[in-house]
Amino acid sequence: MSGRTRLLLSVLACFVAAIIGVFVGRALLPLRAQPGAELHDVLHHKLALDASQEARLAVLEQRFAVQRRAFELELRADNARLAEAIEAEHGNGPRVAAAVDQSHAVMGELQKATLAHIFSMRQILRPNQTGQFDQAVVKALTDDAR
């Protein structure tokens, strides 16, 4: 067997071993839930919302998706400004500090908007549904598994 053939077989064996490793890893290690996934599951599958609640929830979710996307775009622009400031100052100078402060302000506004959205969703619930919803909110905020 030539050296080239051995090299090709070694590369192929490494590739197959890597693929097998990925499949074994996915089978043995559970995927982490996305933030808010349990809250979404509670809202859409465990609270038995009526048709009116579902319709109002759809409007709230659509409105918030647009709002959240706007914040995400603003944060992306803030990150670009931060990168420019770091490139210009090569340290923690006034432009870097201002860019960080601006980014934190937008993050705070996003958090406030998210809380307003959660409270808006809670308002469409019946009293017998709010306890389970509140528990899911608290769990989403305190779960260390993320």
What is the rounded CA–CA span in Å between residue 66 and residue 129? Answer: 27
For residue range 21-57, list pLDDT tens digits in order: 666 666 666 655 555 667 778 888 888 889 999 999 9
pLDDT score at 26: 65
For residue range 111-144, list pLDDT tens digits in order: 999 999 999 999 999 999 999 999 888 888 887 6
Buried b (16+ CB within 10 A) or exposed e, 1-32: eeeeeeeeeeeeeeeeeeeeeeeeeeeeeeee
**At 73, which amino acid appears?**
L
pLDDT band per the 50, 70, 90 thresholds, residue 10:
confident
Q: Give the pLDDT mean for 67-89.
A: 91
- Higher pLDDT among residues 39 and 84, named by residue: 84
- Looking at every residue in the chain, the average pLDDT score rounds to 84
Q: Give the pLDDT mean for 89-113.
A: 90
Residue 43 burial (CB < 10 Å; 0-12/13-18/19+)? buried
pLDDT score at 23: 67
Angle at 86 between CA 82 and CA 92, to 5 degrees: 100
For residue 95, give both structure tokens: 């432009």
| Cβ atoms 128, 117 nearer than 8 A | no
pLDDT band per the 50, 70, 90 thresholds, residue 146:
very low
